[in-house]
Structure 1
Amino acid sequence: MPVTSRGGGSAVDAAEPRRQPPNTQPGGKASAFCQILQSKRHSISPTSVGLPARGPSPGPRVTGLRQEDVAGLTNRSVATYARIESGASKPTPEYLRTLALLLRFKESEYVLASLELFGTEPAPLDPRAGLCVPSVWERAVDGQTEMAYVNDRCFNLAYWNRAFVSMFPSGHTPKNIMEWMCLSDEARDGVLLQWETQWAPRVFPQFHAALVAHPNDPVLASLRTRILADRRARRFFDYGDNTYIHPDGDRRPFLHPQRGTGWVTIVAAGPLSSPGARYTTLLFDES
């Protein structure tokens, strides 16, 4: 017979609800992070991480790494790792990165896990992430009739279409679009109308943001040196509005070599598999 509380309900009803483990979804279902963790553990062969091959043994065949393998390789107890994989406890951001590197998370899986666990997007696992843009983006750019291009995280141009080439009076696309916007007289005194008031105050903060994200990148460091050596550019590098970090939706004056004076509306997006890269379309309207 259930014990009755003073309020008339049973003691079970009056008790505080059981807390849900931190890494589980409503109903007790394993979180996305736990599912990724288990899937990745089962997909990694012991020999690929320096462990001896597992010989025949009685009982069910074990594929991939065991929990004790992961625990040992990451200097944790088996109990600690088991609690994390089951959703009973949460890893620190540092241990999440350790697990992601060992178990070869994709960048997208790592971002999802960090957002789920901590609500923040982490720095890429691979320091080279954002330097290689998948070739499928070349087809996407070629199919665009407006001026369009894709640059990597250092602003080096990866792909562009014919319409984009037509915006350069010289007929040649630059290697680095940020360098062209900041330092080229073709841009500053020609194509990018009202450069000092409409373009430079919005371009240099984007470069600042890239430097903050990748302070040791040699391409960005070299460009910074050249900007600081250019008196006209340095003024904006030192005193620009660093709260402005993307151009999506902007409308700016523009001189097209073939179509004349007008305005471009900038539409910016990012290849999700290449952090920091950007896909930009310039919608030109004649004045």
Structure 2
Amino acid sequence: MDVAKQVREFLMTRRAKVTPEDAGLPPGGGKRRVAGLRREEVAVLAGVSTEYYAQIERGDIARASEEVLHAIASALRLDDVERQHLLDLCRAAGSRTRRPQPASKVHANVQQLIDAMPGLPASIQTGRLDLLATNRLGRALYAEIYDRHTGKGVPNLARYLFLDEHSRETFPDWDSVAEDAVATLQTELVREPHTKAFVELIGQLSTLSREFRSMWADHDVSAHRRGKKRIHHPLVGEVVLNYEALQLPGAPGLQMVTFLPEPGSPAQEALGLLGSWSTPAVKACVDPEPVDLGHGDETSQR
């Protein structure tokens, strides 16, 4: 995947979101030819020359200092996640070393950990939204995703969202769930821009889904660590659950996602019913040895 192109499109979309008034600049006369700020206005706000900013926006970012990137981030009014994404894009553009491939297996201890939470649905996910493992209740909650998965390998939440119309029944707030998924994939881009699995996933979704192409072109990024999600289950109906996403320090690129019902809520009762009917947990990707970080052919030299 072309990192320079991602830099260019990210900066252009951020620039389009900021008006001169937002940035404290005079609006200027006449009709503006671009949405948001002009390049020269960003340059003035960042304290660099127009030529230098234009060079960075074209994707030649690898040699830019952190001081300059922070100045550009401030000029574009980037939030903390967007600012970090810009810094990560710079590092990805400048890296010439092989990076470890994100973990593709779950250590047995991690599976044991989520299995020890029988009253809460829990799963282990990759940054590209592969469902590597669940506990029993997590498998029951995501029954539709697993049951409708027909491809090779493990189910992928992004593929389900954009390539299976049934996902709109599973997630009543489909638009926001889909936007969150794309923002997560944009963030994952800096971790594995050249791995075969990631490139194939983005290529497939871009080819087959107009909605994905539109959302991907927005270049929005976010870190969804906590929130609320509505899920419609064929057996217990709609449940509203809080969720927490925790990074696994010993397994780069993996996170544990746990759903939590409000005490005494209908969702808690629904999970109790699911627990009594549930199917076994998904453990197909469990590795009894330390997590395989992979240094194989899928990660190319950058």
TM-score, scaled relative to structure 2: 0.48
Return the letter of the residue paired with 1:169. E
CA distance in 1, matches of 2:99, 2:190: 17
Distance in 2, matches of 1:283 and 1:181, equals 22
Look up the SS of the partner of 1:250 in the other structure. Answer: strand
Whether 1:180 and 2:160 are equivalent positions in the alignment is yes
- Picking from 119, 123, 143, the partner of 1:149 is 123
Cα deviations by residue, 1:118-173 (Å, 9 ceiling, x for unpaired): xxx99997522423332211111212222111123443322212212222237627
Question: Residue in 1 aligned with 2:183?
Answer: 205
Q: Which has the larger radius of gyration?
A: 1
Deviation, 1:202, is: 1.5
Cα distance in 2, alignment partners of residues 195 and 201 from structure 1: 8
- Closer, same or farther: CA 282–200 of 1 in aligned 2, 3 Å: same
CA distance in structure 2 between the partners assigned to 1:214 and 1:171 by the alignment: 25
CA RMSD of aligned residues (A): 2.7
Q: Counterparts of 2:178 and 2:114 in 1: how far apart (Å)? A: 26
Is the counterpart of residue 271 in structure 1 residue 251 in structure 2? no
State the distance in 2 between where 1:262 and 1:185 align.
20
Matches within 5 A, 1:17-36: none
2:132 to 158, 166, 178: 158
Match of 2:192 among 206, 214, 224: 214
Does the C-alpha gap of structure 1 residues 170 and 132 become closer, same or farther in structure 2, counting only changes over 3 Å? closer
Is the counterpart of residue 225 in structure 1 residue 203 in structure 2?
Answer: yes
Shift of 1:241: 2.8
Secondary structure of 1:212's match?
Answer: coil
Rounded Cα–Cα distance in structure 2 between residues aligned with 1:248 and 1:264: 14
Quote the Cα distance in structure 1 between the aligned partners of 2:220 and 2:257. Answer: 21
Matches within 5 A, 1:274-285: 274-284=251-261
Percent same amino acid at aligned positions? 16
* Alpha-carbon offset, residue 240 of structure 1: 5.6
Runs of 5+ consecutive residues of structure 1 not aligned to the other structure:
1-120
Report if the CA contact (8 A) 1:149-1:159 is conserved: yes
Pair 156,194 (structure 1): closer, same or farther in 2 beyond 3 Å: closer
Query: Cα offset for 1:207?
Result: 0.6
Is the CA contact (8 Å cut-off) linking 1:227 and 1:237 kept in structure 2?
A: no
* 2:108 is aligned with 1:135: yes
Distance 1:215 1:142, change over 3 A: same
Cα 1:251–1:212 change in 2 (3 A) is: same
The CA distance in 1 between the partners of 2:146 and 2:132, in whole Å, is 17
Residue 271 of structure 1 aligns with an amino acid whose one-letter code is L
2:128·2:184 contact (CA, 8 Å) conserved in 1? no
CA contact (8 A) 1:252 1:264 kept: yes
Match for residue 230 of structure 2? 253
- Structure 1 runs of 4+ aligned residues shifted over 6 Å read 121-125
| Structure 2: stretches of 5+ with no match in the other structure | 1-90, 268-302
Cα 1:251–1:170 change in 2 (3 A) is closer
Three-state SS of the structure 1 residue aligned to 2:107 is coil
| Equivalenced residues, count | 163
Task: Tell me the distance in 2 between the aligned counterparts of 1:170 and 1:275.
Answer: 25
Q: Distance in 2 between matches of 1:206 and 1:235?
A: 15
SS of 1:263's equivalent in the other structure is strand
Number of the residue aligned with 1:235: 214
Query: How many angstroms does 1:268 deviate by?
Result: 0.6
Deviations 1:73-121 (A, max 9, x none): xxxxxxxxxxxxxxxxxxxxxxxxxxxxxxxxxxxxxxxxxxxxxxxx9
Instruction: Tell me, in whole angstroms, the C-alpha distance in 1 between the residues paired with 2:114 and 2:148.
Output: 15
